[in-house]
Amino acid sequence: MSLEEEIGAMLRQKGLTLGIVESATGGLISHRITNIAGSSDYYQGSVTAYSNQVKIGVVEVKEDTLNQYGAVSPQIAEEMALGGRKILSADICIADTGIAGPGGASAGKGVGLFYLGLSHGERTFSREHNFQGDREQNKQSAAEAALSWLKEYLAGLE
């Protein structure tokens, strides 16, 4: 059973819906979720919030947070997950922001740096990852990490 199939079965069993907000992965996580037949039972939809304007205007990321921490930060990953959960009417939302490469690095933030966000109930979390691949590999690695974290989180729910 694939990771996506396992997640689908867990969401179905727990009666939970999923939303996704993607930046650096560009829709890859959503693509993987919707590859599963019957995903409409639990999948609400996604926003690919690539630009800061979309992060602010659609997903309700705070402009102050962007200015203070930058788009690639744990704070933004969390605000994307929280905002996405609200606008997509989902029980759980996962989000990503990162630097896929080969460009885009800045002082203290290198290529391959990603932050994932997860929001459910009263809690919102983030995780940092540093991937070492090329652009495509980093996007694939981030999608895999997000789905793995979601599965781990769902497994830990009562």
Interval 59-114: pLDDT, tens: 999 999 999 999 999 999 999 999 999 999 999 999 999 999 999 998 889 999 99
> Domain map of the chain by residue range?
3-156
For 34, 47, 96, 105, 137, the CA distances from 67, given in Å and listed in that order, are 34, 21, 18, 17, 29
Geometric angle at alpha carbon 59, from 48 and 72, rounded to 5°: 70
- At residue 41, the pLDDT reads 97
**pLDDT at 143 (0 to 100):** 98
Q: How far, in Å, CA of 110 to CA of 114, rounded? A: 9
The CATH number of domain 3-156, selected from 3.90.950.20, 3.40.50.1100, 3.10.129.10, 3.40.50.300: 3.90.950.20
Distance, CA of 68 to CA of 123 (rounded, Å): 22
Give the chain's radius of gyration (CA, Å).
15
